């Protein structure tokens, strides 16, 4: 497909690909919300049989644009063309009728209903006054075979894996004869294996002539699957390109809007984005991410900060311990990474070391202080910091203002407390400082904006700011960048590296191998509650870690 945007204007009768109208096209679409222009003169077109990536950071306007294409919002200016015909969608039903389908990032599925019921909902097959489940199930089976979307129509959606639920979402769109499928951050919830399966499905759909709009902020995925790419920043289109003509570095620069430095990770065939200078400088930190921050450095020889001995956690009702006889140490200035497929004991490990879960055996010591089975408050006082894996559930009180969230672990102490009273002036000033230092984009609401109103990246920054802004000796960072955009990820990585430079001991639990390979000094692998291997970074490769995560033989034992 050439750069030229096909449009309805090209109706000269020449039968070339260029003259076919775009399956869907946005022309100079503008959408304003009070105080913000979410989409500013946005134009882009998707040809039949094209995978079109829409790339941008959180708040770049991707979601607004998709909601316009799906009829959830109407544009203030500009127009939407479907197959070259100007169209106005007043609601999703009208968009669906025009062949637009959408797979939402948070699945729009109803767990207690069956796959068939979920798919037919709103578009029910009838026999008399009753639902015709048989006819619907037959149609679903036919579609699932045609598009390679394996799913059992009879089971409850709540019993399905995340990957299978996503297939149900895709089937829902094709059940309504979608020609254009919008996929909103579809890989955010998938394992690498499931993501590969999804890409295979997407390629199949492209073969069938479907148009796919793929919303993401993961550069690697964009180049792996997309034909064309539109980059959004601040509500505007800042670049459009064919996937063949563009590099990750160029895309990253367009997306973030400033120069970013790409480090080639020499142990794996992957690239991660970090940034030199700018972020750290903006923070006023003296320790800047060094030229090669990822190079393995001999940890300081001082006694270990954290010592875990035979730690065991038994979840009530489970036959096997969630954490089984785990031992390791973390030195000052060391990042100890934990790899593993989710559910192999990571949550229990983080919980046991932060006082949120009971340890049923073994010990953990922070210097000489036993920290197992102590209250979270005692651990906070001892200098344990925690970036929890579920930031909305465990990291923030969403309805509280940013300022209150920033003092959740220190509110009882001076200068925030004076006797039984809180000193709101002090708290506000403190919060204002952190907002500036950690680049928390709170908009006009400032420190009194509820945490719920922030984007995911900014919510995570609030947590990071809170945890790192008090004297700490040990940090548990559980999935610290899950679901965040490039800008926030690099910011948080820079923070972790800066803390490492300053001598903090860090336990990093992550599902992203790239992240572990980029940040960790040593990487341990959890498999069914056992620490099956600990590899120095120099010996860790994606392949080797992947094998260990799947229960393969360990060549190194701790």
Partner 1 sequence: MSLLLSLLITTLTFATPITLGALSGVACERAGVVNIAIEGMMLTAAFAAFWAAVTTGNLLIAVIVAMLAGVLLAALHAALAITFKVDQIISSTVINILGFGLTSYLYGQWYARNAPSTPGTLPSIALPGTTITIRVLGLLAIVLVIVLHFVLKDTPWGLRVRAVGEHPHAAETVGIDVRRVRYSAVLLGGVFAGLGGAHFVPGYVPSFSPGMTAGYGFIALAAMIFGKWRPLGAWAAALFFGFTLALQITLQTYHVPVDTRIIGALPYLATLIVLAGFVGRSTPPAADGVPY
Matching residue, tokens 């203002």: 401
Instruction: Identify which of residues 178 and 506 has a Cβ nearer to partner 1 in the complex.
Output: 178
- Minimum CB separation of residue 89 from partner 1 in Å reads 11
Shortest distance in whole angstroms from residue 131 CB to partner 1 = 5
CB 171 within 8 A of CB 143: yes
**Shortest approach of partner 1 to residue 126 CB, angstroms?**
6
Interface pick for partner 1 out of 23, 65, 109, 168 (rule CB under 8 A)? 109
Per CB under 8 A, contacts with partner 1 among 223-282 are none
List Cβ neighbours of 304 (8 Å cut-off, separation of 6 or more): 329, 330, 331, 332, 505
Q: Which is nearer to partner 1, 164 or 311 (CB)?
A: 164
Half-sphere exposure of 490 (CA within 13 A, CB side): 26
Alpha-carbon distance 321 to 507, whole Å? 21
Among residues 35, 112, 425, 471, which is the contact residue for partner 1, using CB under 8 A?
Answer: 112
Q: What are phi and psi of 292, to 5 degrees?
A: -125, 80
Residue 102 makes contact with partner 1 by CB under 8 A? yes
Nearer to partner 1, 130 or 368 (CB): 130
Q: How many residues of this chain bind partner 1 (CB under 8 A)?
A: 27
What string marks each residue from 117 to 156 as x (binds partner 1 by CB under 8 A) or -?
x--xxxxx-x--xxx-------------------------
Q: Is 535 left (phi over 0), alpha (psi -120 to 50) or beta?
A: beta
Mask: binding to partner 1, 12-51, rule CB under 8 A, as x and -? ----------------------------------------
Binding partner 1 (rule: CB under 8 A), the pick from 27, 167, 172, 522 is: 172
Rounded CA separation 177/282 (Å) = 50
Beta bridge partners of 228: 52, 242
Q: Nearer Cβ to partner 1, position 126 or 146? A: 126
Give strand pairing partners of 531. Answer: 526
Interacting residue with partner 1 among 108, 399, 452, 550 (CB under 8 A): 108
CA nearest to 349, candidates 299, 312, 297: 312
Please say which residue, 90 or 444, places its beta carbon nearer to partner 1: 90
Contact between 393 and partner 1 per CB under 8 A? no
**Strand ranges for 47-195 from DSSP E:** 51-56, 77-82, 85-87, 100-103, 126-127, 130-131, 180-184
3-state secondary structure at position 462: helix
Nearest approach, Cβ of residue 106 and partner 1 (Å): 9
Cα(384)–Cα(149) distance, rounded to whole angstroms? Answer: 46
Give the nearest distance from C-beta 121 to partner 1 in angstroms.
5
Q: Give yes or no for a contact between 235 and 38, defined as CB atoms under 8 angstroms apart.
A: yes
Nearest approach, Cβ of 157 to partner 1 (angstroms)?
10
Window of 104-112, 203-211, 498-506, 516-524 that interacts with partner 1 by CB under 8 A: 104-112
Rounded to the nearest whole angstrom, what is the least distance from the CB of residue 120 to partner 1 in the complex? 8
Pattern 72-101, partner 1, x by CB under 8 A: x------------------xxx--x-----
Determine which residue in the list 18, 36, 113, 135 makes contact with partner 1, applying CB under 8 A: 113
* Per CB under 8 A, 341 contacts partner 1: no
Closest CA to 512 of 323, 346, 264: 346
Report the residue number, 70 or 430, with the smaller CB distance to partner 1. 70
Burial 440-455 (b: 16+ CB within 10 A, else e): bebeeeebebbbeebe
Query: Among candidates 188, 186, 142, which has minimal Cα distance to 167?
Result: 186
Closest distance between partner 1 and the C-beta of residue 243, in Å?
29
| Cα 138-142-143 angle, rounded to 5 deg | 115
Q: Phi/psi zone of residue 407: left (φ > 0), alpha (ψ -120 to 50 degrees), beta? A: alpha
Measured between alpha carbons, how far is residue 355 from residues 309, 321, 358 in Å?
16, 18, 7
Q: Which residues in the 482-541 window bind partner 1 by CB under 8 A?
A: none
Residues that bind partner 1 (CB under 8 A): 70, 72, 91-93, 96, 102, 104, 107-113, 117, 120-124, 126, 129-131, 172, 176
């Amino acid at each position: 497909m050439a750069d030229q945007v096909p449009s309805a204007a090209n109706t000269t009768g020449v039968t070339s690909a260029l003259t076919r109208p775009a399956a869907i096209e946005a022309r100079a679409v503008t959408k304003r919300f009070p105080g913000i222009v979410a989409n500013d003169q946005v134009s882009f077109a998707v040809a039949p049989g094209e995978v079109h990536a829409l790339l941008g950071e959180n708040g770049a306007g991707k979601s607004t644009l998709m909601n316009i294409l799906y009829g959830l919002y109407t544009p203030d200016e500009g127009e939407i063309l479907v197959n070259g015909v100007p169209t106005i969608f007043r609601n999703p039903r009208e968009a669906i009728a025009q062949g637009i389908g959408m797979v939402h990032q948070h699945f729009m599925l109803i767990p207690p209903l069956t796959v068939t019921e979920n798919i037919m909902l709103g578009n029910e097959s009838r026999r008399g006054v009753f639902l015709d489940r048989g006819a619907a199930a037959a149609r679903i089976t036919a579609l699932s075979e045609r598009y390679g979307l394996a799913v059992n129509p009879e089971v409850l959606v709540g019993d399905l894996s995340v990957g299978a639920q996503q297939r149900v979402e895709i089937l829902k769109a094709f059940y309504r004869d979608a020609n254009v499928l919008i996929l909103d951050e579809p890989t955010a919830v998938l394992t690498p294996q499931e993501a590969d399966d999804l890409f295979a499905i997407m390629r199949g759909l492209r073969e069938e002539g479907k148009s796919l709009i793929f919303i993401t902020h993961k550069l690697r995925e964009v180049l792996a699957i997309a034909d064309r790419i539109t980059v959004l920043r601040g509500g505007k289109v800042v670049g459009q390109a064919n996937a063949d003509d563009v590099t990750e570095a160029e895309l990253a620069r367009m997306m973030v809007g400033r120069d970013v430095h790409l480090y080639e990770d020499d142990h794996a065939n992957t690239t991660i984005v970090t940034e030199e200078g700018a972020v750290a400088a903006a923070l006023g930190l003296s320790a800047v991410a060094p030229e090669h921050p990822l190079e393995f450095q001999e940890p300081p020889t001082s006694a270990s900060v954290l010592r875990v001995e035979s730690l065991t956690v038994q979840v009530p009702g489970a036959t096997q311990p969630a954490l089984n006889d785990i031992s390791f140490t973390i030195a000052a200035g060391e990042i100890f990474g934990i790899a593993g497929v989710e559910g192999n004991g990571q949550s229990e490990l983080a919980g046991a070391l932060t006082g949120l879960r009971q340890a049923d055996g073994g010990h953990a010591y922070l210097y000489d202080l036993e920290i197992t089975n102590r209250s979270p408050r005692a651990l906070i006082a001892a200098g344990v910091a925690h970036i929890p894996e579920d930031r909305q559930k465990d990291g923030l009180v969403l309805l509280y203002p940013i300022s209150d969230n920033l003092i959740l672990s220190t509110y009882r102490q001076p200068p925030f407390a004076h006797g039984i009273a809180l000193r709101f002036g002090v708290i506000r000033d403190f919060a204002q400082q952190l907002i500036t230092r950690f680049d928390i984009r709170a908009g006009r609401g400032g420190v009194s904006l509820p945490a719920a109103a922030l984007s995911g990246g900014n919510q995570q920054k609030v947590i990071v700011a809170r945890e790192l802004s008090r004297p700490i000796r040990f940090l548990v960072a559980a999935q610290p960048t899950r679901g965040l955009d490039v800008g926030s990820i690099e910011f948080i990585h820079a923070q972790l590296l800066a803390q490492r430079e300053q001598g903090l001991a860090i336990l990093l639990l992550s599902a992203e191998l790239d992240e572990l390979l980029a940040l960790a000094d040593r990487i341990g692998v959890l498999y069914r509650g056992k620490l099956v291997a600990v590899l120095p970074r120099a010996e860790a490769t994606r392949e080797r870690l992947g094998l260990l995560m799947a229960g393969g033989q360990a060549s190194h034992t701790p």
